[in-house]
Amino acid sequence: MNELEILKLTKRYALTGEIPDDLISFFSQDGRWLGDRRSWRRSTYVIALKRMRHAVLPAARRTARCRSGQRLLTSLVLRNRRPVVIPYCEVAGSIHVSADVTISAPHLRSVGRHFNTSTTALVDLPQLLRVGGDFHARASCELNARRLQRVDGDMGITGYDFPVLQVVGGRLSIGWGCRIQTPHLRSVGGTLQACAVSSFEAPLLQTVGGDLITASLTLVVAVPVLESIGGSLLVDWTEVIVAPRLTRVGGSIHSSHADRFIGGKIMIGGEWKAHPRALLQWRANEAAKEALRDPGIQL
């Protein structure tokens, strides 16, 4: 739902006093208006808040039963300092846990918008399959969401243990990990930043919509089927780059320590800061190609 539709629906409430079904997920579990500060422009958020600040969603419209269990039709906001247990199989809105506590959601399969927590403790989401907005659990080093397949927004995590994750619609930021492997990741809509100590391996990754950035300690980047990067390839300190199918980089390439990464087939939108040896090899290859195109060459 876009912001124009949000403004139309909140205006309808201001005129009629009736809460449209499409706005239910923007309320809290207590029936109070929340909106979506993370996604909306400030002007949209403020206008909607002024119109909805006195709205109270009836308890009967906050939950529903389904075959898998109980669905929360609103968002879930928790600030208490006790361990959190989420009983729902689905949360239509967002989940926000601000306290540094353990989080357990044994039945949760989907989150309609954002999942956000700043806890450093265990986050256990064993059945989670999809998040419709952002997924942020960067502070937790004990994150279990091994069945997660898709995040439609941005994703911020420490380490990587998502063996079936295929799509991240926005930015993917992976904090420190010794060896980061993304076995089924196929596309990242925004920037992919991987702070790996030794290697970053994405055997099925095909597209990155923004930049591809690795940390200064990442020695190996292996993306064997990667075809395009919408932004820049920033792998300055990486020594080994395996990207045989890469044909387009919208920005620049910084690969000054990869002496065998030539990139002869890549269309580059910006500059290429290459290792001197790789640059010499590229020039030699280009000279050989030009010689083969010369009609007077004697073979």
pLDDT tens digits along 195-232 = 876 899 999 999 999 999 998 888 999 999 999 999 99
> Position of tokens 């200064």?
216
3-state helix, strand, coil in the chain (%, to 5): 15, 30, 50
**Residue 19 identity:** I
The model's pTM is 0.91
Question: 8 forms bridges with which residues in the sheet?
Answer: none
Whole-number pLDDT of residue 296: 56
Separation CA 27–CA 86 (nearest Å): 17
| pLDDT lower than 50: segments of the chain | 299
Separation CA 115–CA 76 (nearest Å): 10
Whole-number pLDDT of residue 179: 82
Other C-beta atoms lying within 10 Å of the C-beta of residue 261: 26
Other C-beta atoms lying within 10 Å of the C-beta of residue 75: 25
Q: Using an 8 Å Cβ cutoff, are 116 and 140 in contact?
A: no
Separation CA 157–CA 195 (nearest Å): 11
Whole-number pLDDT of residue 284: 80
Write the DSSP symbol of residue 289. H
Other C-beta atoms lying within 10 Å of the C-beta of residue 235: 26
211-218 long-range Cβ contacts below 8 angstroms, 24+ apart: 211/251, 214/238, 215/176, 218/194
Tokens found for residue 242: 């395996």
What are φ and ψ of residue 179, in 5° steps?
A: -135, 110
Give 26: exposed, middle or buried? Use CB within 10 Å, 0-12, 13-18, 19+.
Answer: buried
Helices and strands in the chain, H and E counts: 3, 29
pLDDT digits (tens, 9 = 90+) for 241-252: 999 999 999 999
